Amino acid sequence: MQRDKYSAVIVGGAIGDALGWPFEFPESARKHAQLRNGAFLNWTKAAGGSYWGYNDEIHAGDYSDDTQLTLSVGRSIDFQGRFLIDRFAYEELPLWLQYERGGGRATKYAVNSLLSRKQVGWRDNFFRVGKTAYRDAGANGAAMRCAPIVLANINNNLSTIAKYLNENTISTHGHPRAIIGCYLIAAALISALKESPNPLDCIKEVANDLADKGLQHISAELPDWLYIWNQEGKSFTDIFSDVIEEMNDGLDAIKKYKSLSECVRYFRADQFSNKGSGISSTLTAIASYVINGEAGSLALEETAYYPGIDTDTVSSMVGWLLGARYGRSVFHEEWLKNVQDSHYLSRMGENLHGIAFPEIESNNITFKPMHLSKRDYLSRVWAWEIGMFEMFWDAIDVGSVMNHPTLGQGKVIKKVRNDVAYEAAGKPKYYDANVVIKFIEGQTCSFHSVINDNGLPESGLIKRLEKILK
């Protein structure tokens, strides 16, 4: 398996992410309608929510949470290909909250819920926030980050891959639609990497096999999770079976229809209530790859600009599949050069190739996560939070060096405080502060904080972490 393809999967996903992100939301898509020319865009995104909102300046080629969390998953895989779910759930995800860009609601709710309840772990984090409940979280937030698990374990058995995909999903999403969406895109990646001459048949066979083995893993190794899940409404296994039927029906539809637009209508992937579904979005990406994949970059542009669909996630997945099948040459040179953190993305792919093929490239394994306890992971997050709290004070300025628990050493390359106060109903005035760090390993992260009238940053996660660690 060529190392070039592994690099192309991670880089291609980021390219699709960066192309599609400006067109994810109707207002932004309308604003940039005349700029659908295959180029990365500079644009502004409203962020921070209703009460602590700010404008996030997105530079051409910047990627969103899709790629951020793909990298987080990649850093949570050890040199033997094992997915370290405790590291991902208790270190990577809490740290991600402070630099996330465009993060999904269910994922953020899951992390905040985990950090608000001392006795809760990733196996029993059944949160409910307003109308959003863990059991109903069936969006594509887990599928969009799972590529590293497949890449590192391409030579492993499907039972092991299904176990890691389950853990990746269950840490933030509880509905079978999210879990099976992971199986589906994983099967597509396996098919693309192995250059299957009949991709749809291969995808259907592998996805159903992963589903069988995944359900066995949940029943055998996560019985407490399954017991809690089944305390309300229809049983998990019944819904699981319904979603498998939906998946297989969708794959049959791709065989039947001759255009992406027909498939999108059939999946209802452009309907607001369904656009982020773990099934409809993965099916749309697979349809684009199967129907238009030979067109290469044009297939990526079609999904990036397609009205109404989850453009960044679908395009990111299409980028994975194109990269897995054709390698880096399928992407425009300008994209490869100008996507954010291109060198780091390539190194992540090479690292995963070294894990999958140690007899060939063991020297390429440069990301080596530590095996720690939940408490130790959270203690490392707490220590970073203290440093980040101080990062927004005057003592730390451009050029200062910071040490991050998972990203390593980095240098502050930008520090800005908005001098115009924001005002929200029922809330005191506040200012937005932004610190950008370029880490030596290669990732660039933009950290935001709310600054109050006294010039002090909000405490972020510090108080909650201290309660958990007592």
Which H or E run contains 465? helix 462-469
Q: How far apart are CA 342 and CA 150, in angstroms?
A: 21
Res. 363: pLDDT tops 60: no
In whole angstroms, how far apart are CA 265 and each of 23, 156, 262, 271, 346?
Answer: 19, 36, 5, 9, 35
Cβ–Cβ under 8 Å, residues 438 and 410? yes
Report the C-alpha gap between 142 and 313 in whole angstroms.
11
pLDDT band at 421 (very low <50, low <70, confident <90, very high): low
Residues 433 and 418: beta-carbon distance below 8 Å: yes
Mean pLDDT rounded to a whole number for the chain? 91
* CATH number for domain 3-364, candidates 1.10.4080.10, 3.40.50.1950, 3.40.640.10, 3.40.50.720: 1.10.4080.10
Mean pLDDT of 358-367: 66
The pLDDT of residue 456 is above 90: no
Which residues, other chains included, contact 271 with Cβ-Cβ below 8 Å and sequence gap of 6+? 308
DSSP state of 242: H
Give the residue from 189, 155, 197 showing the smallest Cα distance to 9: 189
Cα torsion angle, 232, 233, 235, 240, sign: negative
Q: What is the mean predicted confidence (pLDDT) over 444-463? A: 78
Count how many residues are written for the chain: 470
Best CA proximity match to 439, nearest among 403, 415, 414: 403
Place of tokens 């005349």: 34
CATH 1.10.4080.10 in the chain, residue ranges: 3-364
Cα dist from 33 to 29, 30, 186, 310, whole Å:
6, 5, 32, 16
Q: Confidence band (pLDDT; 50, 70, 90) for 325? A: very high
Give CA separation, 464 vs 110, 116, 200, 382, 432, in Å. 14, 6, 47, 9, 22
Spatial separation of the C-alpha atoms in residues 94 and 381, rounded to whole Å: 7
- Number of other CB atoms surrounding residue 116 within 10 Å: 13
Residue 364, pLDDT score = 58
143, 103 contact by CB (below 8 A): no
Residues 6+ apart with CB under 8 A from 112: 97
* Alpha carbon distance 328, 320 (integer Å): 11
List pLDDT tens digits, range 279-297: 999 999 999 999 999 988 9
Q: If you average pLDDT over each of 33-37, 91-95, 385-389, which comes out highest?
A: 91-95
pLDDT in tens, 87-126: 999 999 999 999 999 999 999 999 999 998 888 999 999 9
Q: Is the pLDDT of residue 46 over 90?
A: no
pLDDT digits (tens, 9 = 90+) for 293-319: 998 899 999 999 999 999 999 999 999
- Rounded Cα–Cα distance for residues 76 and 171 (Å): 13
- The answer, as to whether pTM is greater than 0.85, is yes
Q: What is the rounded distance in angstroms from the CA atom of residue 290 to the CA atom of residue 260?
A: 9
Measured CA to CA, the distance from residue 434 to residue 55 in angstroms comes to 11
How buried is 359 (Cβ within 10 angstroms: 0-12 exposed, 13-18 middle, 19+ buried)? exposed
